[in-house]
Amino acid sequence: MTLPEISSEWATGFSLAWSAYIAVLSIWIVMQKRAPVSTMSWILSLALLPFAGFVIYYFLGPQRLKKQRIKRLRSRVGKRNHADQALLRDAAEKAPAALRQIAELGTATCGIPVSSATSVELLSGGAATFERIFEAIHEARDHVHLEYYIFEPDQIGTALRDLLVLKAKQGVTVRLLVDALGSKKLGRKFLAPLQAAGVHTALFHETRIGRRLRPVTNYRTHRKIVVCDGRVGFTGGVNITDEEDLRVQSDAYHDVHLRIEGSAVSWLQTTFLEDWAYTTGDYPSDKHTDVSLLLPHLLPQMDAGDIPVQIVTSGPDNALEPIHRMHVAAINASIQRAWLTTPYFVPGEPALMALTSAALRGVDVRLLVPHRSDSLIVSAAARSYFDELIAAGVKVWEYKGRMLHSKTLVVDGHCAMIGTANFDNRSFRLNFEVMAVVYGQALAEPLAAQFETDLRSAILVKSLRPQRFSTRLLDAVARLFSPLL
């Protein structure tokens, strides 16, 4: 057999193998029944990586996860006292119909109804956030629960660790759940004092190969939750890292957080406990006969507050995408204003349509994003949407100086959202996220004031702005990968 004949046979064999690879990979991806754009993006991207695409999709490709709700826990939280129920009914009757529908959407998609809070406090910056969290932990007498995406073994991380050790030695039950990837720097030496003091620690979705039949590397808990004695709760964008603290770093991220008191904290508690049970498999469980003895401590009875609050959760275990839907519904319901702050802006078609449609019908729509985020490709993808947003009347602002990390939305004067979710596909579909929706003026006014303060450190993006061809090309190419970001 001559060399050309051998080469021809190899070429034919490779073509058949590559065709079979594309066929099998396409069937595998298509059977996931995802959005057509996302499906085609995966197929086209992986088709360019013969055989290696299998490995990439196996580790990073979308998959359905199941995370069981703890029925007994949710049942108890749902049985609020009569005063609380009466207050919420009265507030619902006075609220606009669109607002009631948004609340019903949240309940229908994630199973969490509107509850009440006696107080909500907007915390601007990591320093203010850490001070209030440390204060609440100092005052805890029964338990402290923490869940974080990023927990760094740096100055603030070490200070918090030492405080948790102190509380554990005082007899307070401490549970710490951190994401295995986001908090990958936490080593045995750092965790040893916690474990020696009796602090319960767990890693969410360990990244070691062999831990699961199919790895879940791409599915992280992006939640930031602190609950003290079931009465005081925190959530928002601030992680445990010096990068969020201006007292330590002059270029620290600019971020906001929320402190809540009242019955709404019970739903933050429920979210944490379900994540804990999913991760550890041992607490609490409907099968535990003594769980009823623990619930009064975990879910204490509290007086009704006058602030309606709804905790909304989402993740790859819920195909309804509750946080995504809540954002779109709130923007669609806006009449006067819709002010959105996000560090990562990679909207899908529904979210993009909601923003542009609101602006076209005369709503004051403003978008505040970082001038430069910590992800080059995400920044480029975000810029690719600016022209069509501006053409529709959306005012786009870029925050200068520091990295903007806040994730908020203010709609008119009666709806404010703050949480852990970015305005992108990863947060809406892949990560486990949590958000607090506060109805009325209690948070809408201070959050709107914070937004206007942040604009003083931002520049307005103009439609006719000078851009190099290379920048425009990078933005356009990055946008092609939007469904995967």
The full DSSP string for 192-255 is HHHHHTT-EEEEES--STTSSSS--TT--B---EEEETTTEEEEES--BSGGG-TTT-TTPPB-
For residues 133, 137, 139, 145, the Cα torsion angle rounded to the nearest 10 degrees is 120
Which residue in 145, 205, 224, 257 is the catalytic one? 224
The full DSSP string for 16-67 is HHHHHHHHHHHHHHHTT---HHHHHHHHHHHHTSTTHHHHHHHHHS------
d(CA 385, CA 67): 35
Judge whether 274 and 72 are in contact, CB under 8 Å: no
Judge whether 307 and 414 are in contact, CB under 8 Å: no
d(CA 87, CA 94): 11
405 classed as catalytic: yes
142 classed as catalytic: no
303 classed as catalytic: no
Which residue in 179, 412, 454, 475 is the catalytic one? 412
Q: Can you give the C-alpha Rg of the chain in angstroms? A: 24
Q: Please give the angle made by the CA atoms of 126, 277 and 159, to the nearest 5 degrees.
A: 30
Which residue in 255, 405, 414, 454 is the catalytic one? 405
Which residue in 143, 145, 205, 222 is the catalytic one? 222
Residue type, position 98, single letter: A
For residues 221, 224, 228, 230, the Cα torsion angle rounded to the nearest 10 degrees is -60
Which residue in 407, 414, 424, 475 is the catalytic one? 407
Judge whether 22 and 47 are in contact, CB under 8 Å: yes
395 classed as catalytic: no
Judge whether 240 and 223 are in contact, CB under 8 Å: no
Which residue in 84, 179, 229, 454 is the catalytic one? 229
Residue 232: strand pairing partners: 228, 261
Judge whether 53 and 46 are in contact, CB under 8 Å: yes
Q: Which of 339, 407, 323, 411 is nearest to 373 (CA)?
A: 407
145 classed as catalytic: no
412 classed as catalytic: yes
Judge whether 235 and 257 are in contact, CB under 8 Å: yes
d(CA 411, CA 322): 17
369 phi and psi, to 5 degrees?
A: -130, 165
Q: Which of 266, 258, 273, 259 is nearest to 231 (CA)?
A: 266
Q: Which of 117, 163, 156, 162 is nearest to 140 (CA)?
A: 163
Tell me the catalytic residues: 222, 224, 229, 405, 407, 412
